[in-house]
Structure 1
Amino acid sequence: MLAGGMEQVLNTRHSAIRWDAPVLRIVNSQPVRRTALDGRGMTLVPSLFASHPILIDDRMGWQGLPILVYNITPDAETAASLWQGHEGESALRALLGRTRADVLAALRETRSTGQVADRLRISSPSASKHLTILRRAGFVTTERRQNSAVHSLTPLGEAILG
């Protein structure tokens, strides 16, 4: 950032990210996403799991700032170390948190929110919150069946568990 400013930082994160001050565009999304930063600043979120950049500008983000999620690809040594457990804890649990990893594992079979809560012995609101976060991350899909929300893993969610 010191050498090339925000233009270099943003334009070198991913080929689909275009910064032409004061407008940030994500050109791989349909429709093309763009936002005028107008001096507001932005939260940058590197992600191992994002397949493409995601721009969130609902003014409800962290401190009301737009959020840019972009994928990173670590070198082979770093990638291997990410999946090694720490002190007996699985890498997935260390990454997502114990309960969220357990929610993901519970969805190896399609389940309702209540079934996930019962299986993990957590409250339904807690299960719902974890499922919402996992859905936003692209690990879970949800569909309505009569009066229930039924959840299942996406291919990305299956890959993470695999």
Structure 2
Amino acid sequence: MSVTIDIAGLGPEHIAFETSPLAELGLALHALSEPGHHPGLHGWATATATALEPDLADRLLEAEFLWRNSFSDVFMPFAGIRGGDGRTGADLAEDLDILDRLDDERFVTAALEFTCTSLYGAGAPSPLSDPGMRARALDMAAARGARQTEFTQRLLADPASVRRWIRRLFEDCDEAFFADTWRRVRVQLVADARHKTDMLRRKGIAESLRAVSAALAVDEDVKRISVDKLAEGSTDATDPAVGAGLTLIPTSFGWPHLMVLHAPGWRPVIHYPVHRPELPAPASVEQLQLRMEALAHPMRMRLCRNIARSPYTTGELADTNGITAPEVSRHLTVLKRAGLVTTRRRGRYVLHQLDLTVVARLGSDFLEGILR
């Protein structure tokens, strides 16, 4: 599974590394709503949530489906301006001015993105003009609660007033906590964007994307970017109707999420977490699947129990478990292919041992893989 971005013929001048305070605010709000996704931000999330005024906290609950269940494209309005250049605002006010430039249909569809996630890549019709999508939006909002239902009803009845309400909400977040937070993280994000831009100019797109994330890959002909995710989708960075280009946005709050805006009619965006040296790179989705399948077999689980304690030879494992040496070898091959077992030679014997570091990471790798 992957999300692909067609970049055939796209020159480096159309690839931009930008910072966006509005996009960062969206992920900060997500971290407040889902602290379990972001264990490294527990302290910040607890302190920030505790300090919120009750009125602001209530309004955030009312609109939280913009950032909690799915990350709405309203946080990247620069990508939705037809014929735009993919440039973000210099500050939150400028980003919000760009948001104001989105037409009502595009804004409402993005705001209610959680109601049409299965249709995201195909381009769902606007609930403002399509009765079926309108009914779907109201039904799915009702499943989230009374506040969300009321919000959706107001958004569909009077988009302009809700747009003003949302802008005021984001401005109040800025005053309450985000302005200080942005001043703190902006330096790192600007430095990362400059570094990646310099790398793009000197070493090319493949090298710069590898520096962004191990989950990004460029094919040999430099015609397509593949993003390793438990999702499928595709988009075109050379569509003249949208404006050719690809924008990459670093985030300090995003890990472990790696998000790709690939909605039809929008400029593609890769929203990536800045590198944190203390965190190992998560396994690929393919490697994660191999590991889960390898450990699903009861005999391989028994073999892992043996070799977790000490190194064993193939013969010892066969004798201990009452199976033949060729059977042990076949099971070990599966475990090795999944990167779970190491081997070393001692004289004429080959010893097999479980890689405890890799197995210990399997839980967090799985979580990071499905959240990415």
- Normalising by structure 2, we get a TM-score of 0.22
Structure number with the higher strand fraction is 1
Higher CA-based Rg: 2
Question: Which protein has greater RCO, CA pairs closer than 8 Å, 6+ apart?
Answer: 2
Q: Normalising by the residue count of structure 1, what TM-score does the alignment of the two structures yield?
A: 0.46
